[in-house]
Amino acid sequence: MSQLHDAAERRQSGYEESGSQQSGAGGSRRDFLRRGALGISVAAVGAAHLADNPARAAGDSAAASVTEPARKIPVVAEVDVVVVGGGPGGVPAALAAARAGAKVMLVERYAFLGGHATADLMNCYNGFRNQRPPNETQTVKGIPAEIIAEIHKLGGTSLDVSYAQAKKNLDQGELTYCVGVDPEVVKYVQLKMLVDAGVELLLHSWGAAALREGNRVTGVIVQNKSGRQAIRAKVTVDATGDGDIAADAGADFFQADKAKLLSWSLMLRFANVDKEKLRGMPGILINDSLVVWGPGIGGVDGTDVRDLTRAEVQTRLQIPAHVAGRLKQPGFENAFLVESATNIGVRETRHILGEYFLTGKDIIAGKHFEDVVAIGSNPIPGYREPDGRRRRFFLEHEGYDVPYRCLVPKKIDGLLVSGRCISHDSVAAQSARAMACCMAIGHAAGAAAALAAGDDLVPRKVPVKELQQLLLKQKAELRL
Ligand SMILES: Cc1cc2nc3c(=O)[nH]c(=O)nc-3n(C[C@H](O)[C@H](O)[C@H](O)COP(=O)(O)OP(=O)(O)OC[C@H]3O[C@@H](n4cnc5c(N)ncnc54)[C@H](O)[C@@H]3O)c2cc1C
């Protein structure tokens, strides 16, 4: 079972306590969060919860089944492009498509945008350039860089992050390898940019299924408080991170054995920290708060709701113990926990198989492709050596190309994938899942979707040269 975190994350893992805490019951919420008020073994509680019901723990309660009756669903929108998912792979896609003239709707399950950067409190955008030399080329520009610039204008960025990196001048639009952000500013900026671009939003809505005619996706079915609704679209962009819509449409996908995946982390934000004492400590310092990698768990499948539930139960029950450990550290004398992430951070699930399957070998070689639409330059955080040891593998070049074909699922038409569920193996994914690269992929997916919708083409027939010209017009970096 892989328990590996990124290098900076790994330095945090000493806090993944699972032992007993002395009871501090009877205090205020702040006391609870400061002292760690659970007087019981949190690991044991998580295990007992599952052991009570072994069938459920195995996710195997579906011996019986029911048939859902057919029903009529209202069509609530007809658009050129529907983007499902408002994370790094989704927001730039919606912006790019709308700015290219498409009528766009973005569907998001939460009430806010940002994906991992907000919901998972993973508030440092990595991969705008190589983390160490050669890092002269800023490999991600265009709409992603514009989003960071808007966040920066509102004072929502921080370079006080634990990743070593060359200094750059954000005021002049130069982006460092990693930019820390205030998740609240991210939520505002991304919402404002989408509204300004004329993107219609459907929040609180779960993308439940693909709308299909044969092998062609013709939109999406969502479930929300209003019930079940259909959105018709010429092109659907699956930016759910997990490829939910593509998988439902019958696209083939690769998913690594959960025992081999990198572990998940529940991120925590502490306020009222002493910034001077904490400078250089693993985490993301922003204003007077520090976001840290909290309790983690390995061997879990992010497409299995039983595993998702088990992960939340086990890690959340460890929060008081984790907090108690933190508060013994210099710099936390007056600190308190202000929030845990809305959900635990899931690193890797489905990779939808596309017209090209990008591999670890390709990215290590820095391969160039004629149909480049984005560039990745992030290290491979959990690179496995032949002897089984893991290490942070730094690329020795200025970036590798992500070909358009990785966004185009095999066999299924009317659909593009974006963000971390594109067609690549687990090694390539460890690098390309960095949020800067996911945003560049999103930018490309949106531009391609607009071209396909405008010319009534299926995405696989979009002329790549035209797509690249549109991306260059929207200031993307393609090194052409
Ligand atoms: C613990 C951890 C640490 C990480 N550290 C870093 C880091 O330091 N720096 C970095 O750059 N990257 C980091 N990453 C990776 C990065 O956060 C992700 O790879 C990236 O956010 C993926 O972007 P995405 O848009 O594909 O998916 P997501 O960020 O997951 O966004 C998907 C969006 O779709 C929505 N959604 C999902 N399913 C549905 C559905 N069916 N219907 C409607 N909406 C849906 C979600 O709510 C979300 O808003 C980390 C990830 C994890 C888990």
- Look at ligand 1, atom 14, and give the residue with the nearest C-alpha: 434
Q: Is 180 in the pocket of ligand 1 (CB under 6 A)?
A: no
- Cα 24 to Cα 19: distance, rounded to the nearest angstrom: 15
State the average pLDDT over residues 50-60. 39
Phi, psi for residue 314 in degrees, rounded to 5 = -65, -40
For residues 34 and 261, the model is more confident at 261
How sure is the predictor about 435, in pLDDT bands with cuts at 50, 70 and 90?
very high
For residues 215-220, give the mean pLDDT: 98
183 lines ligand 1 (CB under 6 A): no
- Summarize pLDDT for 250-279 with one digit per residue, the tens: 999 999 999 888 889 999 999 999 988 987
**Residue 25: both structure tokens together:** 């019951």
Task: Judge if the beta carbon of residue 206 lies within 6 A of ligand 1.
Answer: yes
pLDDT of residue 33: 53
pLDDT at residue number 21: 28
Mean pLDDT of 405-420: 98
Residue 350 has pLDDT above 60, yes or no: yes
Residue 22, pLDDT > 60, answer: no
DSSP 8-class letter at 459: G
Tokens of 106: 């973005």
**Is residue 283 in contact with ligand 1, taking CB distance under 6 Å?**
no
8 A C-beta contact, residue 282 and residue 162: yes
Q: Which of 435, 437, 439, 441 to mutate to test the pocket of ligand 1 (most atoms within 8 A of CB)?
A: 435
Residues 338-343: what's their mean pLDDT? 97
Distance 115 CA to ligand 1 centre (A): 5
For residue 61, what pLDDT is reported? 52
Mean pLDDT along residues 284-289: 92
Calculate the CA 235 to chain-centre distance: 22
Q: Is 152's C-beta closer than 6 angstroms to any atom of ligand 1? A: no
- Tell which one of 82, 106, 122 to mutate to probe ligand 1, the residue whose CB is within 8 A of the most ligand atoms: 122
pLDDT band at 30 (very low <50, low <70, confident <90, very high): low
Cis peptide before 134 (omega within 30 of 0): yes
Provide the residue type at 428 as one letter: A
Supply the pLDDT for residue 17. Answer: 24
Q: How far is the CA of 240 from the centre of ligand 1 (A)?
A: 8
- Tokens at 359, concatenated: 């591999």
Percent of the chain with pLDDT over 70: 87
- Radius of gyration of the CA atoms of the chain, in A: 22
Distance from residue 142's CA to the centre of ligand 1 (Å): 20
Tell me the backbone φ, ψ of residue 237, rounded to 5 degrees: -110, 120
Closest to 121 measured CA to CA, from 184, 173, 191, 190 = 184
What is the Å distance from ligand 1's center to 456 Cα? 30
Summarize the confidence of residues 270-292 as an average pLDDT: 91
Helix (H/G/I), strand (E/B), else coil: 152: helix
Identify any residues that bridge with 293 across adjacent strands, giving them in sequence order.
267
**Is residue 4 over pLDDT 80?**
no
> 142-153 and 435-454 are packed helices; what angle lies between their axes, rounded to 10 degrees?
120
Alpha helices in 58-163 (DSSP H): 91-99, 142-153
Tell me, what's the pLDDT at 279?
77
Per-residue confidence (pLDDT) for residue 280, from 0 to 100: 76
Is the CB–ligand 1 distance for residue 347 below 6 Å? yes
Mean pLDDT of the chain: 89
- Residue appearing with tokens 């020795």: 396
Strands, E assignment, 239-349: 253-255, 264-271, 284-286, 289-297, 336-340
Please give the residue that has the higher pLDDT: either 356 or 261: 356
| Closest to 247 in 3D by CA, of 225, 217, 227, 269 | 217
Number of residues that this document lists for the chain: 480
Pocket flag, ligand 1, residue 109 (CB < 6 Å): yes
At residue 41, the pLDDT reads: 32
The whole-number pLDDT of residue 62 equals: 55
Lowest model confidence (mean pLDDT) among 43-47, 120-124, 300-304, 431-435: 43-47
pLDDT at residue number 123: 95
Over the range 335-357, which residues count as b (16 or more CB within 10 Å of their CB) and which as e? bbbeebbebbbbbbbbbbbbbbb
Average pLDDT over residues 320-346: 96
How does pLDDT run across 94-110, given as a tens digit for each residue?
999 999 999 999 999 99
Torsion angle in degrees (nearest 10) through CA of 417, 469, 153, 282: 50
In terms of Cβ atoms closer than 10 Å to its own Cβ (0-12, 13-18, 19+), residue 171 is exposed
pLDDT at 7: 36
What is the DSSP code (8-state) at residue 413? Answer: B
**Residue 108, ligand 1, Cβ within 6 A:** yes
The interaxial angle of helices 142-153 and 91-99, nearest 10 deg, is 110
What is the atom index within ligand 1 of the atom nearest the CA of 90? 25
CB-ligand 1 contact for 345 (6 Å cutoff): yes
Mutate to test the pocket of ligand 1, among 13, 95, 107, 116 (most ligand atoms within 8 A of CB): 116
CA dist 266 and 333 (Å) reads 22
Mutate to test the pocket of ligand 1, among 5, 16, 240, 349 (most ligand atoms within 8 A of CB): 240
Cβ proximity of 56 and 76 under 8 Å: no
pLDDT tier at 23 (50, 70, 90 boundaries)? very low
Q: Is the model's pLDDT at 437 over the cut of 70?
A: yes
Q: Is the CB of residue 419 below 6 angstroms from any atom belonging to ligand 1?
A: yes
Rounded Cα gap, residues 115 and 186, in angstroms: 10
Give the whole-angstrom CA distance, residue 366 versus residue 378: 12
Which residue did the predictor score with more confidence, 14 or 206? 206
**pLDDT at residue 278, rounded to an integer:** 87
Q: Is the CB of 85 under 6 A from ligand 1?
A: yes
Does ligand 1 have an atom closer than 6 angstroms to the CB of 433?
A: yes
**Amino acid at the residue 321:** A
Q: Mean pLDDT, to the nearest integer, of 364-391?
A: 95
Residue type, position 360, single letter: G
For 383-391, what is the mean pLDDT? 90
